[in-house]
Each structure stands twice: as structure tokens, then as C-alpha cells.
């Protein structure tokens, strides 16, 4: 069982300049800025902007003091995801179960209040320097305590919710963390791919997906596998200096409109290899989308026993080759685009070569 986890509540990034990052996510991805926390609201050491699009909540946080631990975090890792927070039914049950099954505490359950009411929050460590917070809202009707409304509308691109969150782990660490998620949070093994599934002539990786029973929470966990050259997972580990979140996948129910809007906003996507569309429809079969538009927008397509999906990946969103975004639309499929792995990897290898990291 998923130990009382209801859904992903928010994802918090640590960034070097939260004001500029908020502008980027508003203008590029169409998020609304809904709230702000900083010196003007009683938080003298850090600023945070809360962004929202449908059921996706992102917090962008910047430390203001050189001796803040987050300043060290930024120096080591660059901009990236620090906290994947869950909304929970009973925080004591979730926290106590995690702790009694091997989790390491960052902060014990506590009540956090402001003029809008109170909620309970606790946090544990997971892989690398990533955290999982637990939030029991108890009817709290604000965003999070300490945030004040600061609304700037973005132009929605149709992003609906976080489909999955991908973690990159060091070599031979995947099985350990798959077991950890099962023991501590009740996220059990859903599907796995070995290095025969995910490989090219030069590089390979292994991946296992842990998920809640209702599949609302899905966490693919990757590790590098032996190959002739450096895996993209190892490139990430080298750039991030430890394990961390590789990408968030945002779900849309109209990927043609979403990708069109994102491209018009200047978002930069990985190119699709030449020849990809020569045989993709033989493999995938019938889809309800306009195939010419799929090709024109350079969207990837795959099918499994339950249906098909369409997906596309941005290039890294910062100068280090670490974090990026996936856009995904599911039409029955509950997998992760296994048929696209080889095409995707060949493209990433081309990018690695340009960076001198293959």
C-alpha cells in the first residue's frame, strides 16, 4: 500500500535567481505565478515563488545569504529539484512508518500556521540530496503558510498534472532505492527495463518504475549500465555530483496544441533522429491525432498492450546537462515509451558529443 500518500503536492526547485526562473516558467511553460514568500512577508533569508498550472504546483526558491545551506547546494548541483512533496492523509502514520523502515529524518512533523490557518509538515531524505516532504492540509485554504498572493497570469499551454518524476542514481544503486521506496513509502515495483531494452551501440542504462497502487504517483529510477561510452545517466551524476531528479513529466490531454504553444514560446526540444517517421506508424498503428501534425511538431509516439502515448523532451533547462522536462499524452498506455528509447538515446548521445561528455 502507498502508506497514505494521496498525490504529489508540489515540487520545489532551488535556483540561483527565483525571480528570473519564475519569469522563465511563466513565459516558457505558461504557469501562473500565484504567491510569493520572502523578506517582505517575514522570510528574511530566502525568497520563493509559487507557480501553478491546473494541478501542477512548483516552488522556486533562492537563498539570500552566503552561509545558507542552500547556497552550498546551488554551488554543488546548480539549479534543480530539491523536494518532491506529497499530500498525505495522516502525517504521523506516514512519517512514523517511513522512519521505522529505514528513512532518515530531515524534520519531524510540526504545525505551520499563518493567518489562513494551519497545516502539518514533515520531511525525510531520499536519494542524493533530494527530499520528500509530507503535507497534511487539514482544511488549510491558502497555498502554503508564509506565502502571500502575488498573482501574475501566464498563458496556459495545457499542462495538467505531474505524470511522473525520474531520479538518476549511481551505478548499482537502483535496486537499493526500489526496495527503499517499497519499505518506507509503499511505492512498489511497477515495471522495469534492463540494458537490453535501453541501449544503443555506445551507451545503456537500467530503469525500474515504482508507483502507488492507483498509479497517481510514478517514479522511474535510472542507473547507468556498462557500454562503450559514458551513459547519459553517468553524465548527469558527474554534473550533479550525486544522484538527483533528472526530469519531471507534465501530462497534457492535447499534446499537439501544447507542443505548438511551447515551441511558439521558444522552448527548446531534443531533435528527433532522421528517419524516425519512416517506420513509426508501422510500429504504432492507428492514432486519433493528425499524423502530419505529429511529424511537423517532431513528437515521439509509442504503443503498448493498453494503448499509445505521445511524448517529447526538452533540452536541459540550465547550462549543466542535468534537469529537463518531458511532455506526455497518454491514450490508454501506462508505460514510458520503450519503443522510443533507442531514438531518444541516439539524440542524447549527439548532444553529449557536442558537450564533449560522451
At 345 the pLDDT is 58
Lowest mean pLDDT among 107-111, 219-223, 276-280, 338-342: 338-342
Q: Which grid cell is 214?
A: 492507483
| CA dihedral of residues 24, 28, 34, 36 (deg, nearest 10) | -10
Higher pLDDT residue, 270 or 327? 327
Q: Which residues contact 179 (CB under 8 A, 6 or more apart)?
A: none
Alpha-carbon distance 1 to 313, whole Å? Answer: 31
Find how far residue 138's CA is from the centre of its chain.
26
Q: pLDDT (tens digit, 9 = 90+) per residue, 57-68? A: 999 999 999 999
Is there a contact between 332 and 307 (Cβ–Cβ < 8 Å)?
A: yes
Q: Which residues contact 224 (CB under 8 A, 6 or more apart)?
A: 170, 171, 204, 205, 230, 231, 233, 234, 237
Alpha-carbon distance 255 to 265, whole Å? Answer: 15
Q: Please identify which residue in the block is written with the cell numbers 533547462.
A: 317
Q: pLDDT (tens digit, 9 = 90+) per residue, 178-198? A: 999 999 999 999 887 665 555
Alpha-carbon distance 17 to 61, whole Å? Answer: 8
Domains and CATH numbers, the chain: 5-152 (3.10.180.10), 159-355 (3.10.180.10)
155: phi then psi, degrees, rounded to nearest 5: -100, 105
Alpha-carbon distance 289 to 321, whole Å? Answer: 32
At 1 the pLDDT is 46
Nearest residue to 164 (alpha-carbon basis) of 220, 205, 203: 220
Strands (E), the chain: 5-14, 32-37, 46-53, 56-63, 80-88, 104-114, 117-125, 131-136, 148-152, 159-168, 188-193, 204-211, 218-225, 244-252, 300-304, 307-313, 324-331
DSSP designation for 232: H
Q: pLDDT (tens digit, 9 = 90+) per residue, 223-278? A: 987 666 667 888 899 999 999 999 999 999 999 999 999 999 999 999 888 788 88
Amino acid at each position: 500500500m502507498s502508506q497514505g500518500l494521496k498525490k504529489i503536492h508540489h515540487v520545489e526547485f532551488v535556483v540561483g535567481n527565483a525571480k528570473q526562473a519564475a519569469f522563465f516558467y511563466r513565459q516558457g511553460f505558461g504557469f501562473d505565478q500565484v504567491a510569493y514568500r520572502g523578506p517582505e512577508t517575514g522570510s528574511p533569508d530566502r525568497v520563493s515563488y509559487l507557480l501553478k498550472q491546473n494541478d501542477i504546483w512548483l516552488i522556486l526558491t533562492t537563498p539570500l545569504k552566503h552561509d545558507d545551506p542552500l547556497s552550498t547546494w546551488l554551488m554543488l548541483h546548480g539549479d534543480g529539484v530539491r523536494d518532491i512533496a506529497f499530500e498525505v492523509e495522516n502525517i504521523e502514520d506516514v512519517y512514523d512508518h517511513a522512519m521505522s523502515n529505514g528513512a532518515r529524518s530531515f524534520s519531524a512533523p510540526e504545525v505551520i500556521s499563518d493567518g489562513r490557518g494551519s497545516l502539518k509538515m514533515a520531511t525525510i531524505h531520499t536519494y542524493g540530496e533530494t527530499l520528500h516532504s509530507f503535507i497534511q492540509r487539514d482544511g488549510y485554504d491558502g497555498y502554503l503558510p508564509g506565502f502571500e498572493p502575488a498573482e501574475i497570469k501566464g498563458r496556459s499551454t495545457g499542462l495538467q498534472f505531474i505524470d511522473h518524476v525520474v531520479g538518476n542514481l549511481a551505478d548499482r544503486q537502483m535496486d537499493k532505492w526500489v526496495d527503499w521506496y517499497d519499505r518506507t513509502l509503499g511505492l512498489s515495483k511497477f515495471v522495469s527495463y534492463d540494458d537490453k531494452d535501453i541501449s544503443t551501440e555506445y551507451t545503456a542504462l537500467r530503469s525500474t518504475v515504482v508507483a502507488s497502487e492507483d498509479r497517481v504517483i510514478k517514479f522511474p529510477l535510472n542507473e547507468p549500465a556498462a557500454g562503450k561510452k559514458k551513459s547519459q545517466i553517468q553524465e548527469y551524476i558527474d554534473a550533479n555530483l550525486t544522484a538527483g531528479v533528472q526530469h519531471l513529466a507534465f501530462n497534457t490531454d492535447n499534446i499537439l496544441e501544447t507542443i505548438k504553444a511551447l515551441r511558439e514560446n521558444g522552448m527548446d526540444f531534443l531533435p528527433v533522429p532522421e528517419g524516425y517517421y519512416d517506420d513509426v506508424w508501422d510500429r504504432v498503428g492507428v492514432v486519433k491525432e493528425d499524423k502530419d501534425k505529429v511529424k511537423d511538431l517532431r513528437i515521439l509516439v509509442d504503443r503498448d498492450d493498453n494503448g499509445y502515448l505521445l511524448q517529447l523532451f526538452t533540452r536541459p533547462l540550465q547550462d549543466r546537462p542535468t534537469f529537463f522536462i518531458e511532455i506526455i499524452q497518454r491514450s490508454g498506455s501506462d508505460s514510458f515509451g520503450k519503443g522510443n528509447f533507442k531514438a531518444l538515446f541516439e539524440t542524447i548521445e549527439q548532444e553529449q558529443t557536442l558537450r564533449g561528455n560522451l
